[in-house]
Structure 1
Amino acid sequence: MLRLAVTGGGGFLGWHVRVLLRALGWPEPTVLSRADLADPRLAAARLAGVDRVLHLAGVNRGEPAEVAAGNVQLAAQLADGLKHCANPPTRVVYANSVQAGNGTPYGDAKATAARVLADTGVDLDDVLLPNLYGEHGRPYYNSAVATFCRLLAEGGWPEVHADRELSLVHVTDAAARLIGVPGGGSWDPAMPPLHIGVQSLVDRLTVMATTYRTGEIPSLLSRHDVRLFNTYRSHCFPAHYPLTLPRRADARGELVETVKAHGGAGQTFCSTTRPGITRGEHFHLAKVERFVVLRGSAEISLRRIGDTEVLRFAVSGGEPALVDMPTMWAHKLVNTGADELVTMFWTNELFDPERPDTWSEPVEPARSAPLAVGA
């Protein structure tokens, strides 16, 4: 188990790196802020004794000159800190870009930054990353996927002005590659790409969004289908939940349709829960999970990994409603009534005890620094 330091730990990629480390049970990494990097002696003190430093900090948007200067400056500051460090890391892992050296200000700056880090004398793992997408990306900044998902979640319709092919990699796969861990079911450090045109991407996301507006599950036939759907759902949460389900009643009793899935695997199970008992206290990296209370009353609580705010939904069998657990959010269900609680659970995959994609995490926040996105 390596001791890691991370620059850019509050950004999109940095947050996903830290979530994966949390799932793996590794120690919380040392996070170097931009203020730390600006002071070479402070940076050296923060770097001392760690095994590796992951250089994720960068400038992706802005005026071309600012983007170019910012990426080179951040690498130079890290290099300066390493040179002042008496006990430096044995390796620098650099989140570079496939655009490095392509003649643009951004691409040439990323290539220059790699050369700066290589000159430190510390072993450099120069990782060329393609376009990344995933949960909680910033629209109009991190990726086109985030922008399209936000527009669709808000009821809009993305427009494509110039179609071209994209090579997309899910950010958890990139995190696994940077950390240096073998494949684990929920991640793949080989970073399998999705090759897709912009218009085809919009069409696929639009079908997902349209299907999901009534709570129906779109066709999830591939790993990228699941991850695109989870990315879309991250832009729906929490505003779209709970989603009330229609009930049909006659002299025989009542009927509630809890899951309509359009394709792919799935598993359904029901549980009873005694008054005051809690289920959950974990999170998932890729699994889609649905809760529907059919009898009794309960509170569903959720907290994004690293955040401190807890969101709570009161649900009951008297008015059945679905709440789908967003990936990378710790969640639990508590029976708040005086009687037995009956809950239906659905997941998009058959349970595999060897790869359960269930990571223990209390919903009530611990007293630790938040893993904020976009800092």
Structure 2
Amino acid sequence: MRVALTGADGFLGWHVRVLVKALGWPEPVLLTRSEMRDADAVAVRLEGIDRVLHLAGVNRGEPAEVSSGNVDAAAALAEGLRRCLAPPGTVVYANSIQAGNGTPYGDSKAMAAALLAEACDDLRDVRLTNLYGEHGRPHYNSVVATFCRILAEQGRPEIHEDRQLSLVHVTDAAAHLLDAPTSGSWDGRMPELRIGLRDLADRLATFAAIYRTGEIPPLPDRHAVRLFNTYRSHCFPAHYPMPLSRRSDARGELVETVKAHGSAGQTFCSTSHPGVVRGEHFHLAKVERFCVLSGSGEICLRRVGHRDVVRFPVSGDEPVVVDMPTMWVHNIVNVGAGELLTLFWTNELFDPASPDTYAEPVEAGSLVPAMAVS
């Protein structure tokens, strides 16, 4: 499917782009705000597109800024659609459950939907609830991102008034907007997590307290895994590598590499000859840990769609663990003269039918412009 996006550099937009890559679809056409000022240019870029996802908008700010930001973006896209000789088959609008609620944000979202409906034959007006997920902006995208950042910085979230939340993971929302077939790594039906604000803060605080010791907290269901991955995204890269304790006695040495609370997962080891590279892929949901037991290696990671590569030198002489953040391409290379022995752990058993593994080199040659890691 050929997809075009507005708001591609936002929270939801980045997750849509990652999912498109995981699906193996062509790179989406990205419409920036500056490009959308030229309706004729927008019309040309939409030629041959199957689906347009309108994600651009303003969530927070001065009331006039929020209102004009949402309406102007929709009006610009609508004008481009009118001038398109072969319009896209479907336009999908990432609307909000707050649409039409009497606030500048809600009313401007409703007005944007009306503008798009007038400009196309098939508008899918999707009213999204609270989205959470990796690399959300604190104090902007989600209260989950705010709590995660506070906890990652050793703080404690303050709850002034408890209330119930309906949370949807952003990759599930992306799958719904793309009409992607359901996989083990995403669910376009957008299953919700109903949770109180105080319970959310307590659950994330438990994650943080356990993970601070290098241990893996209980992950009993898919929302627990995704909340934990969201928290980990706010820890990376500053909290890594995590050192391990080495215990010695007359028999030899022992290093505890993984202590998972209430979860077994899968552990395996590999040896690599000098210069061999393993990995070169990313995951959408899997928690994965690397630990070099002997030899010298380098773990390299790059956030999908970005240029900057994070590198960690690792050695069996000083055992450490590095946990792979979701949606970061990663590899490990043997940089020593002898064999490299690496232990790997994942929180789930490998399923060949749904491996949650998407090939891409860390040192990629063609990337979109880098964006700030929130």
For normalisation by structure 1, the TM-score amounts to 0.98
Instruction: Kindly indicate whether the alpha-carbon contact (under 8 Å) linking 1:51 and 1:89 is maintained by their aligned counterparts in 2.
Output: yes
Q: Secondary structure at the match of 2:291?
A: strand
* Counterparts in 2 of 1:233 and 1:374: CA distance versus 1, 3 Å: closer
- Which shows bigger deviation, 104-113 or 293-302? 104-113
Does 1:96 pair with 2:95?
yes
Give 1:311's aligned amino acid.
V
Instruction: Kindly indicate whether the alpha-carbon contact (under 8 Å) linking 1:10 and 1:374 is maintained by their aligned counterparts in 2.
Output: no
Give the aligned partner of residue 322 of structure 1.
321
What is the CA–CA distance in structure 1 between the aligned matches of 2:168 and 2:339, rounded to whole Å?
44
What is the CA–CA distance in structure 2 between the aligned matches of 1:153 and 1:70, rounded to whole Å?
32
Alignment deviations for residues 36-86 of structure 1 (CA, whole Å, 9 cap, x no partner): 111211211221221111000011011122212211111111101111111
Deviation at 1:371, TM superposition (A): 6.1
Give 1:351's aligned amino acid.
F
Moved over 6 A (4+): none
Instruction: Kindly indicate whether the alpha-carbon contact (under 8 Å) linking 1:218 and 1:262 is maintained by their aligned counterparts in 2.
Output: yes
- Which shows bigger deviation, 164-173 or 45-54? 45-54
What is the CA–CA distance in structure 2 between the aligned matches of 1:371 and 1:94, rounded to whole Å?
25
Instruction: Kindly indicate whether the alpha-carbon contact (under 8 Å) linking 1:307 and 1:365 is maintained by their aligned counterparts in 2.
Output: no
Deviation at 1:374, TM superposition (A): 8.3
- Which shows bigger deviation, 282-291 or 84-93? 84-93
Give the aligned partner of residue 277 of structure 1.
276
Instruction: Kindly indicate whether the alpha-carbon contact (under 8 Å) linking 2:306 and 2:367 is maintained by their aligned counterparts in 1.
Output: no
- Which shows bigger deviation, 226-235 or 61-70? 61-70
Q: Secondary structure at the match of 1:34?
A: coil
Aligned residues: 374
What is the CA–CA distance in structure 2 between the aligned matches of 1:224 and 1:373, rounded to whole Å?
26
1:79-118 to structure 2, matched below 5 A, reads 79-118=78-117
What is the CA–CA distance in structure 1 between the aligned matches of 2:119 and 2:138, rounded to whole Å?
35
What is the CA–CA distance in structure 2 between the aligned matches of 1:367 and 1:92, rounded to whole Å?
27
What is the CA–CA distance in structure 2 between the aligned matches of 1:42 and 1:162, rounded to whole Å?
48
The unaligned stretches of length 5 or more in structure 2 are none
Q: Percent sequence identity over matched residues?
A: 68
Deviation at 1:367, TM superposition (A): 2.5
Does 1:72 pair with 2:71?
yes
For normalisation by structure 2, the TM-score amounts to 0.98
What is the CA–CA distance in structure 2 between the aligned matches of 1:265 and 1:168, rounded to whole Å?
27
Instruction: Kindly indicate whether the alpha-carbon contact (under 8 Å) linking 1:10 and 1:373 is maintained by their aligned counterparts in 2.
Output: no
Deviation at 1:122, TM superposition (A): 2.6
What is the CA–CA distance in structure 1 between the aligned matches of 2:72 and 2:278, rounded to whole Å?
48
The root-mean-square deviation of aligned C-alpha atoms, in Å, is: 1.2
What is the CA–CA distance in structure 2 between the aligned matches of 1:348 and 1:121, rounded to whole Å?
45
What is the CA–CA distance in structure 2 between the aligned matches of 1:52 and 1:269, rounded to whole Å?
42
The unaligned stretches of length 5 or more in structure 1 are none
1:206-285 to structure 2, matched below 5 A, reads 206-285=205-284
Instruction: Kindly indicate whether the alpha-carbon contact (under 8 Å) linking 2:219 and 2:263 is maintained by their aligned counterparts in 1.
Output: yes
Does 1:165 pair with 2:164?
yes
What is the CA–CA distance in structure 1 between the aligned matches of 2:368 and 2:282, rounded to whole Å?
19
